[in-house]
Amino acid sequence: MAVTSTAYACASRNRRAFVLLGSAQTMLIYTLSAIAVPLPGIGREFGVARTDLILLSAAYGLSFAGLVLFGGRLADRCGGRRALTAGLVLFAAASAVAPLAQGIGVLLVARFAQGAGAAVVAPAAMAVLRTVFPAPAEYGTAMATWGGLSVLDATAGNVLSGVIASLLSWRWALAVPFVVAVAALALAPKLLPGTAPHRGRTLDLPGAVLATAGITLASYGFVVTDGRSWWSAGVLAPLLGGAALVVVFWYVERRARDPLLPPGFLLDRWRALALTATALSACGTGMTFVVLSLRLQQDRDWSQLQTSAAFAPFAVALIASGRAAGPLIGRYGAKAVAAAGLATAAAGLVLLAFTGFDVHTPYVYGLLPGLVLLPAGAAASFAGAAVLATADVPHQQSGLAAGVLNTAMELGPTVLFAVLLTLGSDATSLAVAGASLAAVALLHHHLTK
C-alpha cells in the first residue's frame, strides 16, 4: 500500500511539473504567433509599411533561432532549472516592455529580447523534462505530447490574441506572456526538480558567437527579401555574411574540445529528416496564419474577431490530432505517424492555395477543408518528429537536442517563410510549401520500408 501511495504521489508530482513546463512552452509559442492577427492594426497605429510588419513578425524568431543552440548548451552546462529561471527573468522583463511600446522601434527591440529569453527557456524546459521522465518509454510519451503542443500553442496564440485585440487592444494580447512568465517563475522552485550542472563541460563561447551571428544575420537577409531585390546590397550583405559565419562556425566546431554542436549530431538520417519535417511544418502553419490573417482583414474586410473565429476549427483539429498522436505513435511508431501527418498537412496547404484566396469563395468549402487538414497533419508530424529528433540522445546532451529541435522550429517560420514569399503570389507560396511537405512525407515512407 505504501508503494502504491508513493507511486501515485510521484506520478502526480510529475504531472504538475509537466503542466508547468508545458505552460512555459505554450507561452513561448503564443508569443511567436500572438502578433499575427493584430499585425494590420499595429501597422495602422504606427503608420508602418508591409516590409516593417514582416520584420516585426520575424523579430522574435530571429533572436530565438540565433541563440537557441547556445541556450541548449547553457542548460546542459548550468542545469536545466537554473537556466530556465534565468531565461524566464529576461523573457518577463521584455514582455513587460512590449505592451507599453509607443513606437515600432521599441516594440522591435522588445520582440528581439523576448526571443533571446525564449532561446534559453525552450531548451531548458526540455532538459528539465528529461529529468522528470528519466525512463525512455515515459520520456518518449512525454515528447510525443510535447511535439503536438507547439502547433497547438501557435493556434492558441492566433485565436486568443485576435479575440483579446478585438475586445480590448493588441497591447493586452501582448501582456499575456508577462503574466505567464511571472507565474512560472513563482512556481518553478516548488514544482520542478533541481538539475545538476555538468561542471566538466565548457560553453564554447566562440562557437556560440559564430552560430548566433551567422544564423541571425542570414535569417535577417531572408526576411528583408519581401521588400528588396535579392541582388540588392541590403539582402546580399547579410546573406553572404551570415553564410560565411556559419561556414567558419562549422570549421571551428570540428576542432573544438567541447563543441556547441558536435558535427556528427546531425548526421543521423532520422534526426536530420525529423528536423526538416519540423522546419517545413512550422513554416506551413506559420505562413498560413500570417498570410490568411492579412488577406481576410484586407481583402474580405473581416474584423480581428471574425478572423480569429475563422481559425477556431483549426484549433479543434489540432487538439483532436494532438491527443491521438501519442497513442498512434505507441501503436504504429513515430516514423509512420510523422509521414502520415506530413502528407495530410501537405494536402491542407495545397487546398488552401487553390481555394482560399478567392474573395468570392464561401468560407465553408473554400477555407474550412484546408484549415482542418493542415492542423490535423501538422500536429501528428510535430509529435512524430519530436520523438525522432530526441531519440537515443544521451542525458548530458538533452539541452543540445532541445536547442537543435527549437532551431528547426524557429527557422521554419522565419527563414523558409521569407523565402517562399518571394516566389510569387501568396497562393504560390502555400502550394510550394505543400509540395515540400509531400516530398518529405514520401522520403519518410521510402526510408521506412
Question: DSSP secondary structure string, 61-115?
Answer: HHHHHHHHHHHHHHHHHH-HHHHHHHHHHHHHHHHHHGGG--SHHHHHHHHHHHH
d(Cα 322, Cα 145) in Å, to the nearest integer?
7
Question: Mean pLDDT, the chain, as a whole number?
Answer: 77
Q: What average pLDDT score do residues 157-173 get?
A: 76
pLDDT at 423: 66
Question: Which of 121-130, 205-214, 238-247 shows the lowest per-residue confidence on average (mean pLDDT)?
Answer: 205-214
pLDDT at 8 over 70: no
**What digits encode the pLDDT tens for the residues 180-203?**
999 999 988 888 876 666 655 566
The pLDDT confidence band at residue 93, using thresholds 50, 70 and 90, is very high
> What Rg do the C-alpha atoms of the chain give, in angstroms?
21
pLDDT class for 366, splitting at 50, 70, 90?
confident
Give the up-direction half-sphere exposure of residue 367: CA atoms within 13 A in the CB hemisphere: 23
- When pLDDT is cut at 50, 70 and 90, the band that residue 149 belongs to is low
Does residue 3 carry a pLDDT above 50? no
The more confident residue out of 358 and 339 is 339
In this prediction, residue 88 has a pLDDT band, given cuts at 50, 70 and 90, of very high
**204 CB neighbour count, 10 Å cutoff:** 22
More confident site: 413 or 70? 70
> pLDDT digit string (tens) for 299-349?
777 776 777 777 778 878 877 887 787 788 878 888 888 888 888 888 888
Domains and CATH numbers, the chain: 2-448 (1.20.1250.20)
* Weakest mean pLDDT among 78-92, 102-116, 321-335: 321-335
Q: How many beta carbons lie within 10 A of that of residue 284, not counting itself?
A: 32
Q: What is the pLDDT of residue 314?
A: 81
361 versus 98: the higher-pLDDT residue is 98
Is pLDDT of 1 > 60? no
**Mean predicted confidence (pLDDT) in 218-242:** 77
17-31, 105-119, 146-160: which has the minimum mean pLDDT?
Answer: 146-160
What is the Cα 247 distance to its own chain's centre? 25
Question: Averaged over 43-56, what is the pLDDT?
Answer: 73
203: three-class secondary structure by DSSP:
coil
Indicate the pTM of the whole model.
0.70
Q: What band does 204 get if pLDDT is binned at 50, 70 and 90?
A: low
Comparing 391 with 88, the larger pLDDT belongs to: 88
Q: What is the 3-state secondary structure (H, E, C) of 278-327?
A: HHHHHHHHHHHHHHHHHHHHHCCCCCHHHHHHHCHHHHHHHHHHHHHHHH
